[in-house]
Amino acid sequence: MNKFSPNIFLIFVSNIIFLSVSCRENIVLPDEFAGNVNEPLELNNFNSYTFLIDAKKISVKYKKQADFSSFYTQISISITDYSSGTFRFKIKDNQSVNRFSYFGNTNEYNYKESLSGFVPYLIEIEADDFSGKLKIQLNTAY
């Protein structure tokens, strides 16, 4: 008769406990914000740009060179949980000509606009005493 070794049983139980405890609990859903208040999450990839911030009375200016090669761009802007202040979002071309501007001072659910005829070069975001959750996305449109 086979005798079950207590050591094998202990190793098996230890592995099960380790796997169940080490599983990731805080998975961020696509429309939820991660990170600390007033610390933006910025993803600047080839032909794609994302800016997320959970802001509380923040006054800042961000300037970032975009990495786009297409003359066609889709913009999406969302503001949720808005409570105060304003923000401005601008896109400039490589000649520093302002090609797109957006002014936000209220909740905005999935504002979308398509741009064509220039390659986005510079992204500017300016907040003045802004409180709310802001999500800006730029992607190449085909």
Q: What pLDDT score does 138 carry? A: 96
The answer to whether the beta carbons of residues 139 and 74 sit under 8 Å apart is: yes
Helix or strand (DSSP H, E) at 8: helix 6-22
Q: What pLDDT score does 141 carry? A: 84
Span 29-140 CATH architecture? Sandwich (2.60)
Which residue has 């094998």 as its token pair?
8
pLDDT digit string, tens, across residues 93-133: 999 999 999 999 999 999 999 999 999 999 999 999 999 99
Residue 21 has pLDDT above 90, yes or no: no
Q: How far apart are CA 15 and CA 19, in angstroms?
A: 6
pLDDT digit string, tens, across residues 59-81: 999 999 999 999 999 999 999 99
Coil/strand/helix, residue 13? helix
Residue 18 has pLDDT above 90, yes or no: no
Q: Any residues with CB less than 8 A from the CB of 51 and at least 6 apart, and which?
A: 40, 41, 42, 62, 123, 125, 134, 135, 136, 137
